Homo-oligomer: A and B are copies of this chain.
């Protein structure tokens, strides 16, 4: 975490978790009752939405733009929700290279958003699995670094070492720690000790920073390949984010197109994407979709984008003809 600007954390404030997904689950268990509200980015991680739903918690999407969560929109929505009698428990945010949008929350907005939440007595869950995977631009300190009393910070070894180990961690403010820890224990006793030992050995005995640098180079090239291919092949009317890190590019089609209906055609053409509806709590039709570049070699990325282009082109033509 020191690499990302978080220093001086007391190891006693860290709960090792079964991936950062488990930290989201435990946060709901500790802080939420059925009917409570949590705030999240629009769009946000589908796995977090599933966790919220499992606790019968209402997830309320807050508008974002190319700099991430919009502070004014956050403030306004809190006021509206409070007016409706909502019990708002926390803000769930992926500030770096959001899944699915790839967007990063701007530095000046981080402070604004933290101040709003503190003033409104709303806890922040900062999910940062991709933070170490920045390919360009300047690193921005996590919210936790400046507001350690109001933020639960969640990290993961899934993206920087191995997803199959299911080990993550949460840094929990001291006043919340005991409840969080006990709730975590009630779910799985403890994350696999064998895997924790494996990771400890790896961190101790191997050049993990060098390994992350290798990943960064690999993913940066794949990201660049996808952006180049999109620039080359995408028809007019299609827009997409240009992430500075992470795994995902978020594609926006003209309004009126439901990306879910294009999935079967994409698969027929040999390309899979995730329709945008998956990343919103209400599952409403979405004219957006998520592309992932992390697991696919560059030539296949180029070929995939090339094959996706006519599918989108046809949908746009059909949409304008309507």
Contact = CB atoms under 8 A, between A and B. Distances in A.
Interface residues of A, number: 34
Contacts of A50: 182, 185-186
A51 interface: yes
Contacts of A189: 19, 21, 47, 166
A112 interface: no
Chain B CB within 10 Å — which of A21, A50, A54, A187 has the most? A187
A193 interface: yes
Nearest to A185: B50
Chain B CB within 10 Å — which of A29, A53, A188 has the most? A188
A53 B18 CA distance: 21
A188 B34 contact: no
A164 interface: yes
Nearest to A163: B193
A185 B166 CA distance: 13
A165 B186 contact: no
Interface string A163-207: 111110000000000000011011111111111010000000000
A162 interface: yes
Interface string A22-48: 100100010001100000000000010
Given A34-B34, A195-B194, A188 B22 contact: yes
A322 to B, nearest CB: 35
A186 B34 contact: no
Contact of A187 (B33, B163, B187, B193): B187
Contacts of A162: 194
Nearest to A28: B186
Contacts of A164: 192-195, 197
Interface of A: 18-19, 21-22, 25, 29, 33-34, 47, 50-51, 53-55, 162-167, 182-183, 185-195, 197
30 contacts: A18-B18, A18-B188, A18-B191, A21-B187, A21-B188, A21-B189, A22-B187, A25-B186, A25-B187, A29-B55, A34-B34, A50-B182, A50-B185, A50-B186, A51-B186, A54-B183, A162-B194, A164-B193, A164-B194, A164-B197, A165-B192, A166-B188, A166-B190, A166-B191, A166-B192, A166-B193, A167-B192, A187-B187, A192-B192, A192-B195
Given A18-B191, A167-B192, 9 more contacts: A18-B18, A19-B189, A33-B34, A34-B34, A47-B186, A50-B186, A166-B189, A166-B190, A187-B187
Question: When A and B form their complex, which 4 residue pairs have the shortest distance between CB atoms, in order from nearest?
Answer: A164-B194, A164-B193, A54-B186, A166-B192
